[in-house]
Amino acid sequence: MIVRAFRTLNPLSIIWLIILLFVLRVGYAYHAPANISVAFLEPFVRLLIPVSYEHLFSTGVNIFLAGVLVLIQALLLNYLVNRYNLLGKPTFLPALMYITISGLFTPFLLLSPPLICNFLVIWMLFKLFNLYKGEDAKSTAYDLGMIVAIGSLIYFPFIYLFLVIWIALIIFKPFNWREWIAGVLGYATIYFFLAVFYYLNNRIGEFSSIWLPLGTKFPNKINIDYYNYLVLIPVIIILFLCFVKLRENFFRSYVQVRKSFQLLFFIFLIAGLSFYVKAEFNLNHFLLCAIPAAIFFAYYFLYATNKWVFETLFFLLLVSIIYFQFNTF
């Protein structure tokens, strides 16, 4: 039984995580295209690095490196959850769920800006959860503003996670306008240096065009292949059961835990809805939702009581992921 093996904090679980990581990627590696281009920075930052790197890695190396990053992120996320006692018990479930969710769709299996930005999301969560007991949040808000700015240089839709800073200040702290302004100053610091670089290269007139994508209208419809999204059926069921379980235990939890889950929900929502900023719809954007989703999943699987239900659900999720990797319709 997979889930029950990860309910406790056993270091040997890392070996099983690596095996699962391989299993969830071998199907795509079997028929992946020979050449895959990857851009790690937004076009408006290419001025800083005028070197072609899109075809730096072969497909096999690309998939391998993406898997290594996912494993590191999974372990960092697991440490984060256990450090702040979000689930009430030490467990390896967050790492298991993150590795599973990061294999949902084939674009998730490759190096991409959203995958790299997930390191920044985890970094932000460490700082955001510290707001609850922190005395002075101004320096933390400033740092968070800088992190969001750096993330937007890598992947521009990351800019919307700036809203998370203000939402966290509302949830964790009494209102202080200096803390709200500190986040703006942190964000502005990074772009000030970018503006200086543009100016020194006589391209300051192009600087204002960076924010034009924010004016993009939210799409009325998205052209997708619905067969490939059947894998989301067990995901939706698990999320629903998670929110039911959270509702049952909500007022039994510590105040910090309740506030933390409220913040995670907003991160999940904001990260998911910010996809429209990119002109071309890419599924890998939704990797930004993987971290809060993994914590929600872990909560359900830790507190679910009927082992046949939760083990079957997780097994169906794994089977559907592997099946749709081998069948592209």
Cβ(237)–Cβ(301) below 8 Å: no
- Write the pLDDT tens digit of every residue in 163-208: 999 999 999 988 888 999 999 999 999 999 988 888 888 888 778 8
Please give the Cα distance from 286 to 220 (Å, whole number).
Answer: 18
Structure token pair of residue 135: 């005395």
What's the angle, vertex CA 119, arms to CA 64 and CA 124, rounded to 5?
A: 170
Contact at 8 Å (CB) between 159 and 214? yes
pLDDT above 50 for 222: yes
Q: Per-residue b/e over 103-122, b at no fewer than 16 CB within 10 Å? A: bbbbbbbbbbbbbbbbbbbb
Tell me what the mean pLDDT of segment 38-56 comes to.
70
Kindly report, residue by residue over 114-167, the tens digit of the pLDDT.
Answer: 999 999 999 999 999 988 877 778 999 999 999 999 999 999 999 999 999 999
SS3 content of the chain, % helix, strand, coil (to 5): 75, 0, 25
Residue 81 is predicted with a pLDDT of 95
Cβ atoms < 10 Å from Cβ of 158 = 26
- Whole-prediction pTM: 0.92
Closest to 118 in 3D by CA, of 314, 321, 294, 297: 294
Of 274, 69, 47, nearest to 153 (Cα)? 47
Identify the helix (H) or strand (E) that includes residue 204: none
* Per-residue pLDDT tens digits for 49-87: 766 666 667 778 888 899 999 999 999 999 999 999 999
Return d(Cα 36, Cα 25) in angstroms, integer.
Answer: 16
3-state secondary structure of 262: helix
CA-CA distance, 306 to 297, in Å (whole number)?
15
